[in-house]
Homo-oligomer: A and B are copies of this chain.
């Protein structure tokens, strides 16, 4: 498969969410225009995005909702469930553990870890928080696909190393630090400070341009 632009992936994900909403309403086809609106793109871009992977629509008609949704799930690799481990059982960890978007879409939180002994043993959305030192042994017994880092910046790299060592191939990092990981490990960053700075920039001189 040829290289796919990250921006394309983001849009495909948005199209898919929209298609799922359409499917719930029993809609049978959608136009590239409707998808464009949902994905913050132009109709031409929607068609380009999709044509990169195949011809899913019918000229003069549009795209069949359930079929296109299935294709997108296939393309995005969402045709299975993912085992997720969450490291960090603080306030952020608690918010993440309860986030419906996880379970809804096949991302199952398998376990929650924390180094803080006072948090170990607590319950978080039906899961008992485990000591971080168990992570390696646990994942050897039952590997995980994705590790979510919800710990302070200072300990994030250490957690990342532990996750990589335990065979995790994808990391979602909420700590405001760049993580160093080996080739072949995917990392996504969610960095509040960056978003705030971008908003500050947008608000510069006067207010709101």
Contact = CB atoms under 8 A, between A and B. Distances in A.
A77 B204 contact: yes
Interface in A143-198: 145-146, 169-170, 172, 176, 178, 184-186, 188, 190, 192-198
Contacts of A117: none
Contacts of A208: 169-170, 184-186
A192 B99 contact: yes
Contacts of A121: none
A77 to B, nearest CB: 3
Interface stretch (A6-14, A25-33, A44-52, A134-142): A6-14
Contact of A105 (B16, B90, B184, B193): B193
A200 B14 contact: no
Contacts of A56: none
A128 interface: no
Contact of A199 (B75, B170, B205): B170
A38 B186 CA distance: 18
A140 to B, nearest CB: 16
A207 interface: yes
A140 B95 CA distance: 31
A38 B178 contact: yes
Contacts of A188: 195, 198-199
B190 A17 contact: no
Contact of A196 (B91, B102, B195): B102
Nearest to A176: B101
A30 B13 CA distance: 39
Contacts of A186: 199, 202-203, 208
A127 interface: no
A105 B170 contact: no
B13 A203 contact: no
A176 B145 CA distance: 23
Nearest to A13: B197
7 contacts: A10-B194, A17-B193, A77-B203, A78-B200, A91-B95, A92-B95, A172-B199
